[in-house]
Structure 1
Amino acid sequence: MMDDSKDIPLITIGITCYNAQDSIGRAIKSAFAQDWGNLEVLVVDDCSSDGSVDAVRELITGHGNARLVVHEVNAGPAGARQTILREAKGNFIAFFDDDDESLPERLKTQYQRIVSYEAESGVDLVACYASGRRLYPNGYEMFMAAIGSGGRGPIGSELADYQLFYGKKPGVFYGGGTPTCSLMARKEVFAAAGGFDPSLRRVEDVDFAIALGLKGGHFIGCPEVLFIQYASEGGDKSPEKNMEAEVALAEKYADYLRSVGRYEYARRWPLVRYYHFKGQHAEMIKVLGALFLKAPVKTARHFFTTGPRRLLHEFKMKREKRG
């Protein structure tokens, strides 16, 4: 770790924890190993039913810069992140997931990227994302390029359009989207966007980014691999819950979507994904057909850009582990 210094800002590492007794250790250890001399580690346990709380307490014992907050009622990822925003003492907040491992240089790299971009652009609503690698049980590894790390990142409504209806602007690098597990920003940036919406049990990370985009936010990224994600599946990742959350997101931004003529498209596209994941291909084709009749170019571009890539990704995920 770099030498402690009053000349560098305090950064809060926020870690949400839910039934992660077997993985929370690598997240917390990677937080303590950061090459940054002025940080606090804030863990919020979201009413775990396993041994997570005891595991966290043991891990942070002896670290004066670490705190644990325990929810008595499960609030979901957004609710837990809201607690982090409320309790954080840092000028900057970086989010780590409870089953990820961040490399020691992550905070320093993202901090330098933010302040450099602020100085060059003169803007103050900046969200910075890290690139990472996702590891699957069969040995498959996927590189996740951070948004804005391979070219200009989206600005303002460019981000909202991309997240809500895959409205991509030429010359803009959208990378792997806006996962909160790779996000760092000034505390004021989170406040400006309204934080995280506790009513959303999924896609709260997308919602935050859309809200920030509609406030004029800039989205930047670091090309370096700064975290490792270990892929897992759970009930909260079911096709049903994903679809419900994505439709709820379209409803939340219905006024904006209507203003750009994309409300019906944004509301119905989640059904395409849902029927694909459920294996109900006839129903998927029906929805695609209806979308194609109303927006033929948009639908075709969206489907043929994302479809083959998705199928290849699924093949690699399901492939048997080699030797």
Structure 2
Amino acid sequence: MTESNTELPLVSVLISSYNHADFIEASIRSVYAQSYPNIELLVVDDGSRDGSVELIQQLQAELGFDFLAQPNKGLCTTLNEMIARSRGRYIASLGSDDVMLPERFSLQVPFMEQHPETGICAGGIVLIDGEGKPLPEKKQRHRPARRLDFDDLFMDRKPGPPAPTLLFRREALDKVGGFDPTIRIEDYYVELRIARAGYFIDILEEPIALYRVHGSNTYKNRRLMIETELAIYKRFSDHPGYEATRLRYLNAMFTKVANEDRELAAELLAQIPWRSRNLKTLKGLWRYWLKR
């Protein structure tokens, strides 16, 4: 990894580390394994208490990337500060528990250079477990290449971009003011804002990252995910599809949590009017009563 290839756009990779001592080394080394030669890496430890700082310092001494350790500020604030210090035309935020595949930027950067209307380029993922082993084939997500505009993303017309693969055009991030610290789950909201600003989101078919499934994944905190998603939808309540989108999501989440968390399921069901209940609601009710 070098910055001497000045004819190629610089990619800034940002890793905000938080209590991922078991995974952070694989994430960092995957950046240095890229076939694309013009990359800078910035790493910030955001208040870890598990020995991450000492491990990252050892890796910094070996590899020479930019590293700061700080008290916990939260992911969005940390990412915005890292963006301000970075120099790349393109920005990639990598979770400190995820891994890039070697051809990632060699695929994404040429695509972005050829498509100035694209604000975010993403790609496919391979799901792995906590030890780095691929999950069974039946659990993998193989999806075709696709282009999304705001309506596609907001109304869930097409599958959205996998978070570990997002490559942002700096210009697009700057246009929407970066990440919003008031939103706990940052990626979906910034995607929507960039799409609403007039950019497309393009998702390549090729797998370009490994997404690690383990006990502390954010998506497993159902209440946080649901409350955040509904708050995000509300930010776009002026959109004509807002109510349909909100109700579709409530129905889907009620079905998911019906046999996991009866209290949360009851709260969601109370928000779904009778006229808006559908086959998913019935499926969720079956799970809900079966759990009693």
TM-score by length of 1: 0.75
In structure 2, do the counterparts of structure 1 residues 194 and 289 end up closer, same or farther at CA, with 3 Å as the change threshold? closer
Residue 156 of structure 1 deviates from its aligned partner by 3.0
1: CA distance, partners of 2:7 / 2:127: 35
Match for residue 140 of structure 2 among 143, 147, 170: 143
Residue 219 of structure 1 deviates from its aligned partner by 0.9
Contact 2:2 2:39 in 1 (8 A): no
Instruction: Find the residue that maps to 1:109 and give its secondary structure.
Output: helix
2: CA distance, partners of 1:21 / 1:264: 37
Query: Superposition RMSD on alpha carbons, in Å?
Result: 3.3
Amino acid at match of 2:7: D
Amino acid at match of 1:71: Q
Aligned twin of 1:275: 257
Aligned twin of 1:42: 42
Aligned twin of 1:71: 70
Instruction: Find the residue that maps to 2:88 and give its secondary structure.
Output: coil
1: CA distance, partners of 2:29 / 2:41: 10
Aligned twin of 1:211: 193
Aligned twin of 1:113: 111
Match for residue 265 of structure 1 among 234, 247, 267: 247
Residue 71 of structure 1 deviates from its aligned partner by 2.6
Contact 1:2 1:35 in 2 (8 A): no
Aligned twin of 2:119: 126
In structure 2, do the counterparts of structure 1 residues 271 and 225 end up closer, same or farther at CA, with 3 Å as the change threshold? closer
2: CA distance, partners of 1:267 / 1:285: 14
Instruction: Find the residue that maps to 1:68 and give its secondary structure.
Output: strand
Contact 2:233 2:242 in 1 (8 A): no
Aligned twin of 1:178: 161
Instruction: Find the residue that maps to 2:7 and give its secondary structure.
Output: coil
How many residues are paired up? 279
Aligned twin of 1:254: 237
Contact 2:12 2:91 in 1 (8 A): yes
**1:188 and 2:137 aligned:** no
Contact 2:15 2:43 in 1 (8 A): yes
Residue 271 of structure 1 deviates from its aligned partner by 5.3
Segments of 5+ residues of structure 2 without an aligned counterpart are 288-292
- Please show how residues 72-91 of structure 1 align to structure 2 within 5 Å: 72=71, 74-91=72-89
Match for residue 149 of structure 2 among 127, 152, 155: 155
Match for residue 208 of structure 2 among 203, 226, 231: 226
Residue 220 of structure 1 deviates from its aligned partner by 0.6
Amino acid at match of 1:221: I
Q: Deviations over 1:174-225 (max 9, x none)?
A: 33x23432101221111123321111222x1111111112112201122111
In structure 2, do the counterparts of structure 1 residues 67 and 161 end up closer, same or farther at CA, with 3 Å as the change threshold? same
Segments of 5+ residues of structure 1 without an aligned counterpart are 163-167, 169-173, 312-323
TM-score by length of 2: 0.82
Contact 1:18 1:47 in 2 (8 A): yes
Instruction: Find the residue that maps to 1:255 and give its secondary structure.
Output: coil
1: CA distance, partners of 2:3 / 2:216: 40
Contact 1:46 1:71 in 2 (8 A): yes
Amino acid at match of 1:68: F
Amino acid at match of 1:13: V
Contact 1:12 1:41 in 2 (8 A): yes
Contact 2:3 2:10 in 1 (8 A): no
Instruction: Find the residue that maps to 2:208 and give its secondary structure.
Output: strand
Q: Deviations over 1:84-114 (max 9, x none)?
A: 2222111111222111221111111111121
Instruction: Find the residue that maps to 1:61 and give its secondary structure.
Output: helix
**Between the two proteins, what is the percent identity of the paired residues?**
22
Aligned twin of 2:54: 54
Residue 20 of structure 1 deviates from its aligned partner by 1.1
Instruction: Find the residue that maps to 1:256 and give its secondary structure.
Output: coil
Amino acid at match of 1:131: G
2: CA distance, partners of 1:155 / 1:15: 27
Instruction: Find the residue that maps to 1:5 and give its secondary structure.
Output: coil
Q: Deviations over 1:50-78 (max 9, x none)?
A: 211111111121434x1012232x23322
